Amino acid sequence: MDQNRLIQIDRRRITFAALLVLLFGVTEPGRNVYRPYIYSHGIFDFWIADTIGNFTGTMTVIFFELAVMNPPRKLGRIMLGLITLGLIGYEFAQCFSPKSVVDWRDMIGTLIAGLISWGVYELIGNPPEGYTGTS
């Protein structure tokens, strides 16, 4: 990888960093405020409270790696896929750990988060036709 990419500050890297901060800002309150509220009030929220840590946490990890590494497009796609599959594999590997539970909802949340992250990654790298980046 080009060494200059590691220190280069560009629109993509700033966007990845902003997404990282935003998603981290959703993940922790989601786990520590939203989840207990939903559980204590017996609200059915389509398992969002159960999976919010994996869902937004996966996207946080992905955009952290993209912001730090600032990879070229093809390598970014590979990194995104490997991170998503690695987190799904980690969830599955918990079946071999005592006192851990494999949660298929977390695996699905992680997969959906990876797919959404891939879509966002493609939009950041390929702005809509006619987009000039100025208002």
pLDDT at residue 101, as a whole number: 85
Residues 6+ apart with CB under 8 A from 52: 27, 30, 31, 34, 35, 109
Q: Is the dihedral of CA 91, 88, 52, 67 positive or negative?
A: positive
Distances in Å between the Cα of 120 and the Cα atoms of 5, 9, 104, 107 are 20, 19, 24, 20
- Name residues of the chain where pLDDT drops below 70: 1-2, 126-135
Contact 15, 70 (CB under 8 A): no
H helix or E strand, kind and range, residue 33:
none
Unique residue bearing structure tokens 């100025």? 134
Using the 8-state DSSP alphabet, how is residue 58 labeled?
A: H
**Does the predicted model carry a pTM greater than 0.75?**
yes
- Residue 67's nearest CA partner among 133, 135, 124 is 124
What gap in Å lies between CA 75 and CA 19, rounded to an integer? 19
Return the closest-CA partner of residue 17 out of 57, 93, 70. Answer: 70
pLDDT at 8: 82
Compute the CA torsion angle 64, 25, 108, 128 (nearest 10 deg). Answer: -70
Q: What pLDDT does residue 135 have?
A: 44
